[in-house]
Amino acid sequence: MATEIKVPVLGESISEATVTTWLKSVGDSVAADEPILELETDKVTMEVNAPASGTLTDIVADSGADVEVGALLGMIGEAATGAVSASAPLPAPQSEPVSDAANIDDAAMPPSVRKLVDENGLDPSTIPATGKDGRLTKGDVLAFLNSRGAASPKAAVQTSAKPTGEIVQIPSRPAGPREERIKMTRLRQRIAERLKDAQDTAAMLTTFNEVDMSAVMELRSQYRDTFEKAHGVRLGFMSFFVKSSIVALKELPAVNAEIDGDELVYKNHYDIGVAVGTENGLVVPVLRDADQMSFAGVEQGIRELGLKARDGKLTMEEMMGGTFTITNGGIYGSMLSTPILNMPQSGILGMHNIVERPVAVNGEVVIKPMMYVALSYDHRIIDGREAVSFLVRVKECIEDPQRIMLDM
């Protein structure tokens, strides 16, 4: 008995996904609950497990296909018995691809194939089909489009500047690809939408300050080995900025607020998003109740979320509900930037690289390890005084870390 492989529930407010990779091919044996394909939503990449044991007999949605919740992805049949009955007649070999219009069922076409046919205004019955049981594949459609284009090349055009009917030859481009078109992943599309939405919705401004990192660097140097032995994780800069931000957020609650319709929502909890760059794009996992965490808890949480992000194992719950975001462009060498808000949040703190620079201290020029920090904020909620005061408080906490311990 055949078992259908369907798109599972993807999460709150997510109704579509894209098939990225089939981990199994038609004819492969599969075990129940074994991962057989990967789906990408606009937030995460997730694996789909086999609903039963058997043999993968059909793939309905090819890689690259857009599918909705509940859509059919493929079929699993009973495991092959290995021997073919001697009395069973062998199927006659087919030497030619099946191209009969009667065998091309529009309902059976994968979504990606149907979309390609519709976009180009093609008649499926005119396209030679090479798929199983006469099904039309994406490769069939692309090959048909290429052959049609080759049959009527636009090698020459008649220009209006020469009414005599002379034909002007357009020089052909050099051989070899000079550009490549790749479909944006759902995650990249979602990132683009959210960034554009932030620019279109918020009255976004950025204010800057500079921080002397000497005290934090000395503290890290003094306790680095002891901290790692005690907690099994390194003491980084991010935990200091998370803790400093929480001190500032408690003092200036508007930076931890958001707009919902015609209301301001002030958050009395501190769920700090930490931006992580991955091969597929930027994701922002969230440290829940970061104000209740120790320095070691913050560092452990960041490490675990960072590893999950790079492996594509983050869940949607781990990326939702943040109240404030911190991003560190300094790990890539950025000296200064204007971060874009992670809507609907009203503030995002940007860290940058540490550079030794000459600064004036008590009338003398000394060399100090300095970092520029930036706060992008929604001016609809946060006034300039609050934005500047926030960065000043972060600066004070970093330059005098004892303030963090004393919540000052």
Distance, C-alpha 320 to centroid of its chain = 14
CA–CA separation, 189 vs 14, rounded Å? 14
Buried b (16+ CB within 10 A) or exposed e, 369-402: ebbbbbbbbbeebbeeebbebbbebbbbbbeebe
CA–CA separation, 291 vs 269, rounded Å? 8
Q: Which two tokens stand for residue 7?
A: 């798109």
Other beta carbons within 10 angstroms of residue 258's beta carbon come to 18
Element housing 189 (H / E): helix 186-201
Other beta carbons within 10 angstroms of residue 192's beta carbon come to 12
Yes or no: say if 221 and 403 are a contact pair by the CB < 8 Å rule: no
**What amino acid positions are annotated as catalytic residues?**
379, 383
